[in-house]
Amino acid sequence: MGEIKASPAINSKTALARPLQILVADDDALNLRVAARLLREQGCSGALVTSGDKALQLIAQREFDLMLLDISMPQMDGAQTLRALRERERQDGRHLPVVMVSGFEDRATVERFLAAGADGFLVKPLAADSLRAEIRRVTRG
């Protein structure tokens, strides 16, 4: 598990309107590093975890504005994590925007995750422009 610390030299063209706390859950170290770099460049901070169960534990302890959630992780995959999060939210009335992240995109997969409660979907490798646009869309700003 690691932390994302916003870059001190934020380019106003790449920064989001406000700094966000973002949780990234992915079992691949390279994907975590790429996401952290892209988020730092956009003025975001937050946390990195390697599994769905660690993401749920951290959400219970800290506030986040958004979660980027890999769909394919061992033990507790993205679908199981999303389902558990949305069940918890039904009980406490909160809602954490979740953008699913996958190395492949087919319409059926995207629709399945959106129907299950995901707020958005991105394809790896993450690109700064599409990441920024999706974050803005699901956080309304």
126: left (phi over 0), alpha (psi -120 to 50) or beta: beta
CATH number, domain containing residue 63: 3.40.50.2300
In angstroms, the CA 69 to CA 72 distance is: 9
Residue 8 contacts by C-beta under 8 Å, 6 or more apart in sequence? none
For residue range 56-85, list pLDDT tens digits in order. 999 999 999 999 999 999 889 999 999 999
Residue 119: count of CB within 10 angstroms of its CB: 18
Q: Does residue 12 carry a pLDDT above 60? A: no
Extract the tokens encoding 67.
């979660």
pLDDT score for 89: 96
Q: Does residue 21 carry a pLDDT above 90? A: yes
CB 119 within 8 A of CB 68: no
Average pLDDT over every residue of 6-19: 64
* Residue span of the structural domain in which 46 resides: 2-139
How many domains is the chain partitioned into structurally?
Answer: 1
pLDDT score for 4: 82
pLDDT score for 8: 59
